[in-house]
C-alpha cells in the first residue's frame, strides 16, 4: 500500500534551495498566525526505524520558530504514565493554543509494535484504531490541526540506515544500546502499520504517506503538507446530530419524599462508611482507581455529602478536586484536558466536586459553550469515561436532586446564618431563576450519558441524611460490582 | 530529646468535645481567610511508623474543608521523580495560594531512613539538614505557613500499633505487604530524627514535637498548633542584607569590538555545532541534564543565537522554554515554581529563553517585585542552581551584551523590515530608556550569582557571528568540563 501511496516531491539542488526559502517564510508566517487563532498543531511523525524521522523533526525545528514547538518522545515510559489510562501520556503533552507539538513516537507506536510481536490480533487492532480515531476527532473538533506523516522507505534503505557502523549512528543509544524492536521485521511492521493507518484515516485527521528515500524530497514534501494544513480554514466540526430528546423527566421521577431519621442515619452512615473504607483499600491493592463526579443543584448538600465520603477514606488514597473556572493554562487546552490532568495513579481515587458535566450544564445554560460544543460533548464525555473504564478505572456519577421549594428554604436559612452567609451569592439566585433550563439540561444529560460502564445516580436530596447514606451505598455497590 | 520536648494536651471526654467544636470553627474560619490572603499552608506530618500520622491527617481533613486540602504521600517513588533534583517531587506538590498541602512522608523521610541504614554519615546529614533549611526558608519567605509536626510515641506503643494482627491493620499494604524499613529500629530512628530535627529547627519553620500516646490529646494539640500558626501574621522575612555593591562594571569590560568574518564564522559554527551535538548525546548517555539560561538586551540576538544552539541538538534531547508573564497557576505559586516544573528528566537538556533571572532584572527594574523580594532572590537563585548541580545537572548562563548604539541601529532596521516589524514594540523603546537601570541590575546580578558551579558568560553581541560561535564554544567547554 505505502509504495503506491507515497507522495514525493522532486527537486534538484537549485530548485530545492529556492523552494525551501519560500516554504520557511510561509511556515513562519503561519506559525505566527497560529498564535492568534486559538488553534494548535499536533504533528505525528511516524515510520519504520531508520526512515529518518529524527532528521525531519530536526529540520522542521530549524525551519520554524523552535520557541513555539515542543518535541515529545516516549522512549522511556514512566510508571506515572503506565498507571493511568492509555491516552493520559499524550493528553499531558498536548500543546496549548498557539503552539505546535511534534509527536515522535506517539499513540501509534505501541499498538504497531504489539501487533508485530503477535500480542494483539486483528480485532484488537481494530479496537485500538477506533479509540485513536476518537482521540484525534476530539482534538480536531476543538480546533487542533492534526497532521500525521508516515515516512516510507524500502527494506534495503532501512537496512542501510540502521547499519550500526555508520558514524552518525554511534551516538544514538537507541541505535547502539537497545535492541531494535522492529529491526528485521520490516515486512510485518509495514503490514501492521498499514492496518492501523487505514483504520485511522479520516478527513479531519488525514495520514500522509511520504516517500522518504531521498532526504531533501522528504523534507520538502513534509514541509508543504504542514504548510497546507496550517493554511486550511478550520473544518466545521461535523457533530453527530443530537438524537431527538425522548423528553424523559428523570428528575420528576426522583422520590423526593425519602427520609431517614437520626438514629437510622447514624447507624447506616457508620455501616456504609466502614464498608467504603474497606472497598477503597481493596481498590488500592487491586490498582483500580475510583473516579467520581458529584453534581447537583445549588444548596443540594453536595459539599456535606462529599465530606461524608471523604471521612470514610484514608486521605492518602484520594484526591478531591474542586472544579471552578478553568485556569488560563486550562482554558488554552481542550476542555477535557483539565480533567485528564487530575487523574491519580492507579489505585488512588479521584473525586470531582463538579466535573466535566459542567459542559452540558452550566456552560450550556449560560451560553459559555456554543451549541455545537455542548451538543457534541455528550459523545465526548461518554468516550472519555470509556477510556477510563477501559484502563480499569471505576466511574460513578451523582446528581443530588432537591425540589425548588427545598432550595428556597435552604437559601433563606443560609442568609440567616452568619457562618454560611458566604455560601449564598447573587449568582445562586440567578441560577435559581433558570431552574427549568437546568432541569432540561439535567434530563438530557442523563438520557445521553447514563451508560452501562458509568451510571448516573439521581439522589433524592430533600433529606440530607437520606442523600448521604444513599451516595455511600451506591459507591459501595459500584465498587463491589467492579472489584468482584 | 523528644521525650522532654513533646507537647501534650490533656482533655477528658466532655472537655474534648467542646474544645474540638471551638477548634473546628476557628480552623474553618482561618482556612477561609487563607483563600484571600495569598498565603498557603504546608503541613509536614512526621514520626516513627505507628505513631498515628494517618489517623491525624484523617482528622484534620475532617475538621477542615477538605476541598482546599491536598494530602501528598510518597509511597511509590516514580522514575520521573528520581530523574530530577531531590526537591522536584516536593516542589511539584506545593499548594497554590489559598490551599493547604499536607505532606505525609516528606523531604525528611529519605534522609532519616538513609541515616538509620548507615548510608549517610553525620556530615552528610548536616548537609541534608542545610538543604532542607534552605528549601523551607524559601517557601516561608514567599508567605507559605510551614508547620512541622513530629508525632512521638514510645517503643512499646509503636510495637503495639504495628502489630499485624490488629484488625484495622490488615487493610493497609504498608503494613501487610511491605517490610517496615524502620520497624525494629526504633532507637536508631529516633536518634536520626533528633539529629535532623535539631538541624532544621528554625523560627520561621519550627518543629513541634507532639506526644502521640493518646489519640485525642494528640489531635487537639496538633489542631491548636495549626490554628496558632494560621493565625500568626506573616513574619517579616529576614532577608540577608545585600552586600555593598563593589560597583564592578562587568558590561563595560566586555570586548564589544570582537568580530568574526563570514568564512571563519561558517567554519567555526560547523565545528562547534558538531562538537556540541556529540557532547549532548554524551550527556544523555551519562544521564546528566544541561540547564541553560539565555538572557540579554532586547535585540541582542538571543533568539537567533538560541536557534544556532538548537540546530545542533537532536530535538528529542531538549526542551526550549520561552519565559514570558507567568500563567495564573504559576502566579499562585513561589516564583521559582515555574522553573522547577519545566525541568526535564535526567539526560535531557532544558533551555530557557529568559529565565529565573527575570526576578533581578525586569521585575526589579519595573517594580514588579518588591525590594525585599528581588534582594533576597540572589541568594535563592544561587540555592536553586546549587540544587540542580547537586543532582548532577550542568548549568550555564549567558548574557548577550550589545552597545546602546548597536541596539538603536537594530531597532531601526527592524522597523524597516516588514517581516521583523512585529519584533519591535513600544515596550522595547521604553526598556531602552531604562538602559542605565538595567545595566546596574546586570552588573549586580553577575556580582552576586556568578558561582563556581554556575558561571555567567558575558557574550559580546555587536557581531552576531561572534556571539553565536562564542556561546556554542562556552557550552561545549562547560559540558566537557562537567562530563570529564
Using the predicted structure, report yes or no on whether residue A177 has a pLDDT greater than 80. no
- 8 Å CB contact of B316 and A277: no
Percent pLDDT > 90 in chain A is 77
What confidence score (pLDDT) does residue A480 get? 97
A-chain residues near B70 (CB < 8 A): 319
The distance of A235 to chain B (nearest Cα, Å) reads 29
Top residue of B81, B315, B337, B421 to mutate, by most chain A CBs within 10 Å, is: B315
Residue A212 CB burial class (10 angstroms; 0-12, 13-18, ≥19): buried
Using the predicted structure, report yes or no on whether residue A182 has a pLDDT greater than 70. no
What confidence score (pLDDT) does residue B171 get? 62
What confidence score (pLDDT) does residue B240 get? 63
Q: How confident is the model at residue A172 (pLDDT cuts 50, 70, 90)?
A: low
Top residue of A66, A73, A74 to mutate, by most chain B CBs within 10 Å, is: A66
CB contacts under 8 A, B 362-391 vs A, are none
**Which residue is closest to B59 within chain A, CA to CA?**
A311
Average pLDDT over residues A272-296: 97
Are A319 and A349 a contacting pair, CB within 8 Å? yes
**Choice between A159 and A126, residue whose per-residue pLDDT is larger:** A126
CA distances from A115 to A74, A103, A123, B67, B392 (A): 18, 20, 11, 44, 39
Average pLDDT, chain A: 91
Lowest mean pLDDT among A91-105, A110-124, A244-258: A244-258
**Which residue is closest to B351 within chain A, CA to CA?**
A67
A-chain residues near B319 (CB < 8 A): 70-71
Strand A456-460 with A318-322, pairing? unpaired
**Measured at the alpha carbon of residue B144, what is the angle toward residues B140 and B147, in degrees to the nearest 5?**
85
Lowest mean pLDDT among A60-69, A241-250, B177-186: B177-186
What confidence score (pLDDT) does residue B87 get? 97
pLDDT tens, residue by residue, A415-430 = 887 666 667 788 888 8
What confidence score (pLDDT) does residue B437 get? 95
What confidence score (pLDDT) does residue A189 get? 92
- 8 Å CB contact of B315 and A172: no
CA B48 – CA A406 distance, rounded (Å): 49
ipTM over 0.90: no
Lookup: cell for A105:
513516537
In the three-class reduction of DSSP (H, G, I as helix; E, B as strand; rest coil), residue A43 is classed as strand
The distance of B445 to chain A (nearest Cα, Å) reads 25
Average pLDDT over residues A381-390: 97
- 8 Å CB contact of A314 and B75: no
**Which residue is closest to B285 within chain A, CA to CA?**
A173
What confidence score (pLDDT) does residue B66 get? 87
Number of Cβ within a 10 Å radius of residue B418: 7
The distance of A46 to chain B (nearest Cα, Å) reads 14
Top residue of B66, B304, B333 to mutate, by most chain A CBs within 10 Å, is: B66
B22 reaches A (C-beta below 8 A): no
CB contacts under 8 A, B 315-354 vs A, are 315-316, 319-320, 322, 327-329, 345, 353
Using the predicted structure, report yes or no on whether residue A170 has a pLDDT greater than 60. no
- 8 Å CB contact of B102 and A315: yes
A165 reaches B (C-beta below 8 A): no
B-chain residues near A70 (CB < 8 A): 319
What confidence score (pLDDT) does residue A272 get? 98
Ordered DSSP codes for A52-120: -HHHHHHHHHHHS-GGGEEEEE-SS--HHHHTS-TTHHHHTTPPPTT-EEEEES-TTHHHHHHHHTTSS
Number of Cβ within a 10 Å radius of residue B434: 14
Task: Tell me the whole-structure pTM to 2 decimals.
Answer: 0.91
B-chain residues near A68 (CB < 8 A): 322
CA distances from B97 to A318, B332, B367 (A): 21, 5, 22
**Choice between A24 and B170, residue whose per-residue pLDDT is larger:** A24
Q: Which of A67, A69, A307 sits opposite B66 (nearest CB)?
A: A307
The distance of B279 to chain A (nearest Cα, Å) reads 10
In tens digits, chain B (484 residues) has pLDDT values of: 787 777 777 767 778 899 999 999 999 999 999 988 989 999 999 998 889 999 999 999 999 998 899 999 887 788 999 999 999 999 999 999 999 999 998 999 999 999 999 999 999 999 999 999 999 999 999 999 999 999 999 998 888 887 766 655 556 655 545 545 556 789 999 999 999 999 999 999 999 999 999 999 999 999 999 999 999 988 765 556 677 777 889 999 999 999 999 999 999 999 999 999 999 999 999 999 999 999 999 999 999 999 999 999 998 899 999 999 999 999 999 999 999 999 999 999 999 999 999 999 999 999 999 999 999 999 999 999 999 999 999 999 999 999 999 999 999 998 887 666 667 788 888 888 899 999 999 999 999 999 999 999 999 999 999 999 999 999 999 999 999 8
CB contacts under 8 A, B 86-105 vs A, are 102, 104
Are A53 and A46 a contacting pair, CB within 8 Å? yes
Top residue of B30, B97, B316, B423 to mutate, by most chain A CBs within 10 Å, is: B316
What confidence score (pLDDT) does residue B327 get? 95
Amino acid at each position: 500500500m505505502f509504495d503506491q501511496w507515497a507522495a514525493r516531491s522532486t527537486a534538484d539542488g537549485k530548485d530545492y534551495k529556492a523552494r525551501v526559502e519560500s516554504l520557511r517564510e510561509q511556515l513562519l508566517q503561519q506559525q505566527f498566525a497560529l498564535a492568534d487563532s486559538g488553534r494548535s498543531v499536533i504533528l505525528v511523525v511516524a515510520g519504520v526505524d531508520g526512515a529518518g524521522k529524527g532528521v525531519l523533526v530536526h529540520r522542521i525545528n530549524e525551519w520554524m520558530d523552535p520557541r513555539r514547538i515542543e518535541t515529545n518522545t516516549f522512549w522511556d515510559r514512566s510508571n506515572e504514565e503506565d498507571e493511568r489510562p492509555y491516552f493520559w501520556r499524550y493528553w499531558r503533552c498536548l500543546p496549548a493554543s498557539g503552539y505546535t507539538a511534534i509527536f515522535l513516537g506517539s499513540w501509534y507506536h505501541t499498538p504497531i509494535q504489539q501487533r508485530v510481536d503477535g500480542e494483539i490480533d486483528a480485532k484488537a487492532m481494530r479496537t485500538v484504531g477506533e479509540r485513536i480515531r476518537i482521540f484525534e476527532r476530539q482534538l480536531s473538533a476543538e480546533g487542533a490541526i492534526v497532521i500525521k506523516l508516515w515516512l516510507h522507505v524500502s527494506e534495503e534503505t532501512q537496512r542501510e540506515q540502521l547499519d550500526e557502523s555508520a558514524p552518525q549512528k554511534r551516538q544514538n543509544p537507541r541505535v547502539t544500546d537497545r535492541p531494535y524492536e522492529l529491526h528485521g521485521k520490516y515486512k510485518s511492521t509495514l503490514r501492521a502499520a498499514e492496518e492501523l493507518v487505514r483504520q485511522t484515516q479520516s478527513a479531519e485527521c488525514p495520514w500522509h504517506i511520504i516517500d522518504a528515500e531521498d532526504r531533501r524530497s522528504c523534507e520538502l514534501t513534509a514541509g508543504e503538507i504542514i504548510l497546507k494544513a496550517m493554511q486550511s480554514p478550520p473544518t466545521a466540526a461535523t457533530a453527530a446530530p443530537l438524537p431527538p430528546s425522548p423528553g424523559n423527566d428523570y428528575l420528576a421521577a426522583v422520590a423526593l419524599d425519602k427520609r431517614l431519621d437520626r438514629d437510622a442515619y447514624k447507624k447506616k452512615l457508620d455501616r456504609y462508611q466502614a464498608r467504603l473504607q474497606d472497598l477503597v483499600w481493596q481498590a488500592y491493592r487491586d490498582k483500580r482507581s475510583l473516579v467520581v463526579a458529584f453534581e447537583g443543584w445549588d444548596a443540594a448538600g453536595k459539599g456535606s455529602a462529599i465530606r461524608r465520603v471523604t471521612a470514610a477514606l484514608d486521605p492518602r488514597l484520594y484526591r478531591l478536586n474542586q472544579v471552578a473556572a478553568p485556569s488560563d493554562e486550562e482554558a488554552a487546552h481542550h476542555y477535557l484536558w483539565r480533567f485528564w490532568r487530575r487523574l491519580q495513579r492507579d489505585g488512588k481515587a479521584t473525586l470531582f466536586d463538579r466535573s466535566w458535566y459542567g459542559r452540558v450544564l452550566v456552560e450550556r445554560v449560560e451560553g459559555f459553550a456554543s451549541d455545537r460544543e455542548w451538543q457534541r460533548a455528550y459523545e465526548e464525555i461518554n468516550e472519555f469515561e470509556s477510556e477510563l473504564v477501559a484502563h480499569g478505572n471505576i466511574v460513578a456519577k451523582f446528581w443530588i436532586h432537591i425540589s425548588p421549594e427545598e432550595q428556597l428554604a435552604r437559601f433563606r436559612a443560609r442568609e440567616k446564618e452568619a457562618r454560611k452567609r458566604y455560601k449564598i451569592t447573587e449568582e445562586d439566585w440567578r441560577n435559581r431563576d433558570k431552574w427549568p433550563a437546568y432541569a432540561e439540561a439535567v434530563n438530557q444529560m442523563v438520557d445521553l450519558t447514563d451508560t452501562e460502564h458509568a451510571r448516573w445516580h439521581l439522589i433524592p436530596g430533600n433529606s440530607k441524611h437520606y442523600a448521604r447514606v444513599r451516595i455511600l451505598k451506591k459507591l459501595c455497590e459500584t465498587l463491589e460490582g467492579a472489584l468482584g
